[in-house]
């Protein structure tokens, strides 16, 4: 499993919308691995994407017939986030290396270890000539990190999933392995473009400093949102809505120029009880006030994902997963919510209950991302138990 995970994580499957070339090469390597494991033939599903070098984004599916035609769908994603600031890494992101009980590399945790664990769970049953209790559907899907517009979202719309599917998206969890996610916050991405007038820094009065206006705007949006939305929900950790200034794009290359344009963004994870329209209204109010006060022109782009209904606590997928976790790891799972977002939301909106679980150290998106080898093994054991009906 470690060798297989290292093999696929040497391929930087970063979205073409985030500076990469997409998942094509990684998907081919996964198909090759599946063939070598003797697990059968994969089905390719492609979604058109003009920014991709191939013109599309590939997702793979592998099915193994069980004693029941009802499907257990274990869905992982093949894409990763970029490595970020390389100076913060002490190892090469795309040369996975084992140190002690850990495997380091970009994508080994998010979502590589669950992907490999699902494959080797099926391989273990195959080696033992055990027929699964359910028809097992393993999905290796594109574009999760950028919102799934070229992955699970259109694939759900194509009708590839059934109303009685048992769906797990192993893309979140904790080190003990006793947390099952049943609900996600709403997501809101805010992109601001602040336009002023470029000038020489020694003659600032001849221009309009977009950097200063952006600084003011960022602070005031931050303060206004945190002041306006104080609700708490103990189902989530953290139990509040979060409003984080994150990305800021480069403006001018030299220090002695007053920039005429600034772009920056906020990542907001909002409790389901808080209407996103109310959040946007606060942002628009602050945007207008800062524009009038500074004289800058401020444009706002909004990408929203309203919270899906939670997975019912008495659903079959949760019972199957909880029994498998308890029987394998000896822990009693608890149910809770996360900041989102995962594949599960797309299924919940379609009325298909879905669960999110894996045992992990939560090093996703970090420098020196790693996975505990013991967790990879445990995840495979839990998935195999689920395939056998929760034994």
For residue 376, the Cα-to-chain-centroid distance in whole angstroms is 18
Task: Let me know if 306 is a catalytic residue.
Answer: no
Tokens of residue 52, six digits: 């991709």
- Identify the three-state secondary structure at position 98: strand
In the chain, at which residue ranges do the beta strands (DSSP E only) sit? 43-48, 56-64, 71-77, 97-99, 102-104, 135-141, 166-168, 179-184, 186-195, 199-200, 242-248, 257-258, 261-270, 297-305, 334-338, 354-355, 370-372
Q: Is 49 annotated in the active site?
A: no
Query: What are the tokens at 219?
Result: 């602070």
Enumerate residues 6+ apart whose C-beta is below 8 A from 220. 286, 289, 290
Q: Which of 23, 24, 29, 79 is catalytic?
A: 79
Q: How many CA atoms lie within 13 A of 49 on its CB side?
A: 26
Burial class (CB in 10 A: 0-12, 13-18, 19+), 326: middle
Give the residue numbers annotated as catalytic, written as ranges: 79, 144
């Amino acid at each position: 499993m470690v060798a297989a995970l290292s093999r696929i994580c040497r391929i930087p499957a970063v979205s073409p919308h985030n500076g990469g070339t997409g998942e094509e090469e990684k998907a081919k390597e996964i198909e090759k691995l599946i063939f070598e494991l003797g697990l059968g033939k994969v089905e390719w599903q492609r979604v058109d994407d003009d920014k991709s070098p191939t013109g599309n984004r590939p997702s793979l599916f592998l099915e193994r017939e069980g004693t029941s035609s009802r499907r257990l769908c274990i869905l992982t994603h093949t894409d990763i986030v970029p490595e970020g600031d390389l100076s913060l890494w002490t190892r090469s992101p795309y040369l996975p290396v084992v140190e002690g009980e850990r495997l380091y590399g970009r994508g080994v945790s998010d979502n590589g270890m669950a992907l490999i664990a699902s494959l080797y769970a099926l391989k273990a049953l195959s080696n033992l000539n055990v027929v699964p209790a359910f028809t097992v559907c393993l999905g290796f899907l594109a574009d999760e990190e950028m919102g799934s517009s070229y992955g699970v979202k259109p694939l759900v719309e194509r009708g590839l999933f059934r109303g009685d599917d048992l769906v797990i998206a192993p893309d979140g969890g904790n080190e003990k392995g006793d947390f099952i996610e049943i609900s996600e916050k709403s997501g809101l991405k805010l992109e601001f473009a602040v336009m002023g007038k470029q000038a020489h820094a020694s003659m600032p009065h001849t221009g309009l400093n977009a950097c200063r206006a952006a600084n003011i705007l960022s602070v005031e949006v931050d303060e206004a949102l945190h002041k306006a939305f104080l609700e708490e929900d103990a189902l989530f950790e953290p139990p509040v809505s979060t409003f984080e200034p994150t990305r800021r794009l480069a403006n001018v290359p030299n220090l002695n120029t007053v920039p005429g344009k600034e772009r920056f963004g906020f990542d907001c994870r909002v409790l389901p009880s808080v209407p996103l329209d109310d959040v946007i209204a606060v942002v628009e109010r602050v945007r207008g006030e800062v524009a009038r006060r500074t004289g800058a022109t401020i444009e706002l782009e909004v990408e929203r994902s309203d919270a899906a209904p939670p997975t019912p606590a008495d659903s079959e997928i949760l019972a199957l997963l909880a029994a498998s976790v308890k029987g394998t790891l000896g822990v009693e799972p608890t149910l809770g919510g996360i900041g989102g977002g995962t594949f599960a939301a797309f299924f919940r909106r379609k009325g298909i209950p879905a669960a999110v679980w894996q045992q992990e150290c939560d090093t996703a998106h970090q420098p020196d991302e790693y996975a505990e080898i013991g967790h990879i093994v445990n995840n495979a054991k839990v998935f195999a138990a689920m395939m056998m009906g929760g034994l």
